[in-house]
Structure 1
Amino acid sequence: MPAISDVARLAGVSKATASRALSGRGHVAEQTRLRVVQAASEIGYIASPDAASLVTGRTKNVGVVIPFVNSWFFGEMLEGIERTLLGAGYDLTLYNLPVSGPARARVFDFFLARKRVDAVIVIAVDLTEHEVRGLERREKPIVCVGGSGDATARLSIDDRAVGLLATEHLLHLGHTRIAHLAGIGATRHPSGVPGLRAAGFRDAVDAAEAAGATGVGGGRSPSGAIGSGAIGSGPIEAIVVETEMSMPGGFEAGLQLLGHPAHRPTAVFAATDEIAFGVIRAAERLGLSIPRDLSVIGVDDHEHAALFDLTTIAQTPAEQGRLAVEVALRMLGDAALPDPLPDSGAPLATRLVVRGSTARATA
């Protein structure tokens, strides 16, 4: 196997110069650097990351913690993270995190805290104080995308504003019988993504009441609906139903929600596009027409949203992944512009995309 001494001999430089030229650390004349790179290429020399880490104290590896790997949103974000890390010369180690239990503790107490990663990117996970402090004690920068917890840097959309905007769209179209299909845990964990989007839904309903309605709610949950609850009483019927944030979850909840004509809403705000896809399929199964009989709006702008002609609140998970890596590199001092860090309090961009799944309420 070729060694650094072989590269130095072929390029006509010292081993120290060859090492600086290949690592990018320390000054080397450009002509000399090119000669060393050419020599390394000719003999097939590959620098050892373990040896480099002994000198620099860096592993050039970032740990990425994610709750799911089999959904479009998280796949898009991972692609953005990986593409940006590779472009910066970094590798990644992926941890598919369970909600709780010994396996989760091992990820934070052993794999991330004691193994060789330079920084940690956490996606849509609610971190405990113990988990955050354990990483900080070992001087590992943490960048969170969504979720909650007192991390050094956080990037997220304003999920409460997303719920507000989606519901306002339906209210402005004249709908007064509206259901929100929220993610599981929206009621138990109000600071999580499902809880915040449900809070935005309630904000919009409350604002409609303040603008002139005599009351809010009165909606009864259909028999068998998952985790449902009505809001208030009056001419605006607002129902919250919790379900899995997936197309099957939306389909199952949609069948229960729409299968009772006496309590059927005329509009649904789905917490994700995948839930919305399931609702649309449930409506079709029941013989309902979209949007004549039912308006549906989702969140994400999934790659198949246009195929379903779905109105949605668009966000860009791949771009969020890229930004998370940029923040991590700035915290490590490896970015071209180490300071300042992006404002963690500023929400990432979202926008309303109107397609054919929403329309004015019929009489």
Structure 2
Amino acid sequence: MASIDDVARAAGVSTATVSRALRNLPNVQPATRVRVLSVAAELGYVPSPHAATLASGRTRTVGVLTPGIARWFFGEVVDGAEHALRGLGFDVLLYALGSPRTDGPRPPVDPNVLRRRVDGTLVVGLPLEAAEVSSLVGLGVPLAFVGSGPSGQVTHRIDDVAAGALATRHLLGLGHRAVGHVTGARDPLSVWSPAAGRREGWRRALAEAGVDGPPTWVVDDAEFDLAGGRAAAHRLLAARPELTAVFAASDELAMGVVLAARDRGLRVPDDLSVVGVDGHPHGELVGLTTVSQDAFSQGHDAAVGLLGMVVGERAPESVTYPTRLVVRESTSAPRADRGPRR
């Protein structure tokens, strides 16, 4: 188990500074306090029960709102946040709303379940109505979003437009011109959803290449999982047999596209190239080309930043994380002899 000396060495400060930073005492520079919090979380340092808390009167609990943890991105973010918070002696109060395994619309966010029970709130990939955002702000505790979020709020996420463009440009660079897109169902809040950004990136990349992709090259009502991607790809490929490649808005959707191609007797990538977004570990099993993101770090950093806000530090409004293209066997140049599929 890490000691306060370990934290001090890793952070490049004295043990006295570590103690003062963790107890929210004065005479610690804001950047130093955040660095100490981050290092303590990374090393799993837990102050003794007799040490002063980050601030008196705290619940030492952070609320986490998410659609669920069954999907890879949500689970990774929650795991990263929990790792950081546990390392600083904080608990997670998890509320899963709108899980795909639940029939019907998700229940509205009820701020009363968090009132006086949490020191801050993380919202992970959950589209919220403006009134719901206002109700969380009204709790009077720090609030941050991971994966997506409205303007004016602290948000940790990737540039979804850039990710969609990167994936599509990879296919265009291989010589594909008929590039379809499979994405999730639209919602009233799609203006700040990852699905909307990735679709816009796809559209921009095609336009830059002089390709006029018709609306029928898109299926945008899929559930964001393997089964949803499979069903959507069947509809897309049946309607548009000229497509030689598909960009899917997540790796789970993309793996569903691969299965649909196999169902239809198509070879990946000879007959159809497929690329996704996420860096899902199961993607390697099917040789999936992907735009990879570090979801664990997004959750970890958002939690550390939220605790910085708890002790009075000012957080940046938006933190954007890098992505990288991981090329595997699911993409290649289109076959020169390939004719329209029937």
Q: State the TM-score, normalizing by the size of structure 2.
A: 0.77
Equivalent residue number for residue 39 of structure 1? none
Correspondence 1:354 to 2:327: yes
Equivalent residue number for residue 108 of structure 2? 104
Deviation at 1:346, TM superposition (A): 4.2
Equivalent residue number for residue 312 of structure 1? 290
TM-superposition CA deviations, 1:298-351 (whole Å, max 9, x none): 000101111110000000111111011111111012xxxx7563x433421111
For residues 97-176 of structure 1, the aligned pairs below 5 Å read: 97-98=97-98, 103-106=107-110, 108=111, 110-112=112-114, 114-150=115-151, 152-176=153-177
Q: Match for 1:332 among 310, 320, 331?
A: 310
Correspondence 1:74 to 2:74: yes
| Inter-partner Cα distance in structure 1 for 2:219 and 2:233 | 12
Deviation at 1:265, TM superposition (A): 1.0
**Matched residue of 1:307: which SS?**
helix
TM-superposition CA deviations, 1:241-292 (whole Å, max 9, x none): 43111000111112222245x6241000000000111111111121111111
Deviation at 1:199, TM superposition (A): 0.8
TM-superposition CA deviations, 1:118-140 (whole Å, max 9, x none): 00001112333333333333321
Give yes or no for contact 2:251–2:280 (8 Å, CA) kept in 1. yes
Identity %: 37
Equivalent residue number for residue 85 of structure 2? 85
Amino acid at match of 2:92: L
Give yes or no for contact 1:69–1:75 (8 Å, CA) kept in 2. yes
Equivalent residue number for residue 29 of structure 1? none
Deviation at 1:359, TM superposition (A): 0.3
Instruction: Say which structure, 1 or 2, has more relative contact order (CA 8 Å, 6+ apart).
Output: 2
Give yes or no for contact 1:142–1:151 (8 Å, CA) kept in 2. no
TM-superposition CA deviations, 1:10-67 (whole Å, max 9, x none): xxxxxxxxxx9xx9799xxxxxxxxxxxxxxxxxxx969xxx89x9220000000001
Give yes or no for contact 2:254–2:274 (8 Å, CA) kept in 1. yes
Give yes or no for contact 2:158–2:322 (8 Å, CA) kept in 1. yes
Which structure is larger by alpha-carbon Rg, 1 or 2?
1
Amino acid at match of 1:198: R
Please provide the CA RMSD for this pair.
2.9
Structure 1 residues 329 and 105: CA distance shift in structure 2, 3 A: closer
Correspondence 1:258 to 2:237: yes
Uncovered stretches (5+) of structure 2, i.e. residues with no partner: 1-18, 26-47, 337-342
| Inter-partner Cα distance in structure 1 for 2:261 and 2:155 | 38
| Inter-partner Cα distance in structure 2 for 1:105 and 1:201 | 32
Q: Match for 1:243 among 222, 230, 235?
A: 222
Give yes or no for contact 1:162–1:313 (8 Å, CA) kept in 2. yes
Amino acid at match of 1:96: A
Deviation at 1:181, TM superposition (A): 0.1
Give yes or no for contact 1:124–1:147 (8 Å, CA) kept in 2. yes
Give yes or no for contact 1:141–1:152 (8 Å, CA) kept in 2. no
